[in-house]
Amino acid sequence: MTESIEIRKIVPPVFEPVNLGERILCYRPMKHGMPHFGIEQIGSKVIAHNYGHGGSGWTLGPGSAKYVNALLIESPLAKELSDKTTPIAIIGAGLVGLFTAYDLVKRGYSNITIYAEKLDSLASHYAGGLLAPVSMDNDHEMQPIIDQIGIDAYRFYDGVARNKNDDFKKGARLVPSYFNSRKDSGLEPYVGKVMRPAKDVVLDFGNGTTRQMVAYDDGIFMNTALLMGELHDFINAHHINIVVGKINAFDELKEKFIFNCSGLGSIELANDSALVPVQGHLIMLKNQVPDNMNYMILVYFGMGKTEADQNVERSFYIFPKHLPDSAPQDIGVIGGTFIEGGSPDKPNNKEYDSIIEQANAFFGLK
């Protein structure tokens, strides 16, 4: 006898104008081939590169910091780092730079300075928060490294979600995550290691619309703005110095050992022509019912063209993102777009209308 498929009832959000909040345009740093995780010596400086994560910065952040930090500490070029008071510089105060500092402190290093052009309103604050490897361009042979970094990051967030990390209190939680297929999720390499197998389910929106999807019930939602705040609290508590200002060349820094977590800044700083901005659009929700928002969805719609005649990979996602100091009912974010080579002079604002149309169509609201 064939086992019947599980039906799950979800009350759709409301996407009327009164329920739509801030429209956000952000830029993700994506490096063709895979993110740059490597060590090089430039003159008297030893540089550890950690950038180019695309739309997977939060998904990979803690794991990539652990991986790259170990690369440098164990490198023959860094014998001085056996002394944990050796000065260390970090360029960038986005999530990658902050996780790099966090991991170094946990390893016992105490003489760390972060150099950053800005500290607030970064893409790291605005990111949606679904743990899933997306918007990347990885060489096939490098995928096992990316998978292991993602698994390490999952373990970190799982510890936060289960209240097993004293440094982070509320920044992550376990929620069901829904995709069209197991392949689309990018999470299958995690199954059997840190995640349970996905389930085939039907989502019933109570209005005659249903969707057959796969569910990872131990998916992780990262409250990115809250995690950035908690990372800053940790850094401040451990007296890590932050110097605000743009770094144009590694020689500007007095430290010999430098972690380059500058994201898109590496196009110039590291002269990296394989690094490109990926433009993304998202819309904050408001006036929703918080108890109805305990899930995440990501579905892909394929390629298209923007009003600026740029290639766009369109998707629809919804996560229970909630900004600090906002009202409890102002919860949720919808997106999104992946526009390689997008730039502020071509904001492609019509994509916001497309996101709203896709949201209504997905839930069968219009």
**Amino acid at residue number 129:** G
Domain ranges of the chain: 6-363
What is the arithmetic mean of pLDDT over 82-108?
98
Question: Hey, what are 220's tokens?
Answer: 């992780």
Nearest CA among 215, 222, 209 for reference residue 178: 215
| pLDDT tens string 180-203 | 999 999 999 999 999 999 999 999
Omega before 92 within 30 of 0, i.e. cis: no
Round to whole Å and give the CA distance between 223 and 130: 9
| pLDDT tens string 9-27 | 999 999 999 999 999 999 9
How confident is the model at residue 81, as a pLDDT? 98
Residue 1 has pLDDT above 50, yes or no: no
Query: Which residues partner with 177 through β-bridges?
Result: 216, 296
**Amino acid at residue number 263:** G
Q: CA–CA distance from 78 to each of 39, 70, 88, 111 (Å)?
A: 10, 11, 11, 15
How confident is the model at residue 143, as a pLDDT? 86
| pLDDT tens string 123-149 | 999 898 999 987 656 667 788 999 999
Question: Hey, what are 59's tokens?
Answer: 């998904």
Query: Which residues partner with 305 through β-bridges?
Result: 311
For strand 311-319 and strand 296-305, is the pairing parallel, antiparallel, or unpaired?
Answer: antiparallel
Nearest CA among 290, 295, 127 for reference residue 218: 295
What is the arithmetic mean of pLDDT over 304-328?
94
How confident is the model at residue 136, as a pLDDT? 59
Round to whole Å and give the CA distance between 312 and 109: 43
Question: Hey, what are 64's tokens?
Answer: 């990539």
Round to whole Å and give the CA distance between 28 and 76: 32
Q: How confident is the model at residue 3 (pLDDT cuts 50, 70, 90)?
A: low
Residue 186, by phi and psi: left (phi above 0), alpha (psi -120 to 50) or beta?
left
Residue with token string 């629809």: 316
Dihedral pair phi/psi, residue 172, rounded to 5°: -150, 150
SS3 state at 82: helix
What is the sign, positive or negative, of the torsion defined by CA atoms of 193, 157, 56, 97? negative
- Helix then strand then coil, in percent of the chain rounded to 5, is 30, 35, 35
